[in-house]
Every structure is written in structure tokens, then in C-alpha cells.
A = this chain, B = another copy of it.
Amino acid sequence: MGTGTEARQVVTGGAVLDTALTLFAQRGYHGTALSQIAEVLGIRTPSLYNHMRSKQELLQTIIRQTLDSVMEDFEAAVDGVQDPVERLRRATRVYALRHATHRREALVVNRDTTSLEEPSLSALRARRRDHERAFRAVISDGVESGAFTVDSPVLASFAILEMCVSIARWFRDPGALSAADVADQYTGFALQVVGVQT
């Protein structure tokens, strides 16, 4: 009757990573069993080891790739831009946009970074701090040049960054607002926080 060949051997390393990403985002790293990943992919648990070294490696790969992309986004966004207002606008927009378009990655990074084992934990925490520091410098520069007015650049940068991070928690793609709409509005919030009239 034409059913013929079963679907076979379609699983790739990328598919395992993508499924792990989805389930880690839903249930958390420790709340996700490899058997659940295998079930979604339609294979048995041990077969996963043809595509990965360990469960922990999946988490490390997800978080490392995500943090790298965040930093690349940031640098591409502010590269060559001098005006502090425009720098903050662009840095915020790409960060907000990423959290709307890559919700799963954001949820895993923010929830499960503490589940990383050393030495990845230290290395990736440092990578995250690099972005925080660079973002904070945008605000500090603007304060020194008189473009921004804030009591504490540290507090302002945390407030703006975490405001963007939270987009990943409620944003739904076919929703009332597009990712670009949300990013634009959050960019406006960020500028208001640092005292720029809009």
C-alpha cells in the first residue's frame, strides 16, 4: 500500500542540537532527559551518541554559540558609530531583536548557565560579562559626553539589558507586534531610561 520504506537515518547533529534547544528551553537542562530528546527525533536514546559526546556538551554548545552571536551582533551594530545616542540605540535594538527572534537560546542561557560544568562555566560567564561591560561602556561614554543623564551607569545598563532579556519570556511570533516593532519600542524605553527625550 505504498508505506514502503520507513523514514530512516534522517537525524543529524544539527537536529539533535535543535531539539535539545527546544526542550531545554521548555523544561530546563536538568528537567530534560535524553530519552525525551530521542523520542522527539524518533530514535532510541543511545543513538544520540552518534551525534554528540554528552548531554553537557549540548548545553555548552548552545550557550557558547549564543553568547558569541550576541557579541558579534553588538560589535557589528556599534562599529564605526560615534554618537552615543545612536550607539545605544543600535546596541539595544540588536539585543532586543535577538531576544524576540531567538527565544529558546535566550531562555536556556538565562536559566541554565549555572548548570554548566567547569571550565566552561567560568569561560562563558566571562564571555557574558564582556558584553555587559561593553554595553555599559556605551552608557558611561554617553554620560561623560553629556548625552545621557543617569545616576549609575551600572544600574541603567542592567535595567536596559534585563528588560530586553525578558522579551524572550512573553514574545510570541505571530502576535500583535512583530519582533521589529517590539525592538523599536524597547529601544525607545532604553533611551528614556538614560534621559534622552524622544
Query: What residues of chain A have their CB less than 8 Å away from a CB belonging to chain B?
Result: 26-31, 111-112, 114-115, 151-152, 155-156, 158-159, 162-163, 165-167, 169-170, 177, 182, 185-186, 189, 192-193, 195
Contacts and interface: CB of A to CB of B under 8 A. Distances in A.
A151 B27 contact: no
Given A30-B30, A166-B166, A193-B193, A186 B155 contact: yes
Contact of A193 (B158, B165, B170, B189): B189
8 contacts: A152-B177, A155-B186, A156-B189, A158-B166, A162-B166, A163-B163, A165-B166, A192-B195
Contacts of A165: 162, 166
A156 B186 CA distance: 8
B152 A185 contact: yes
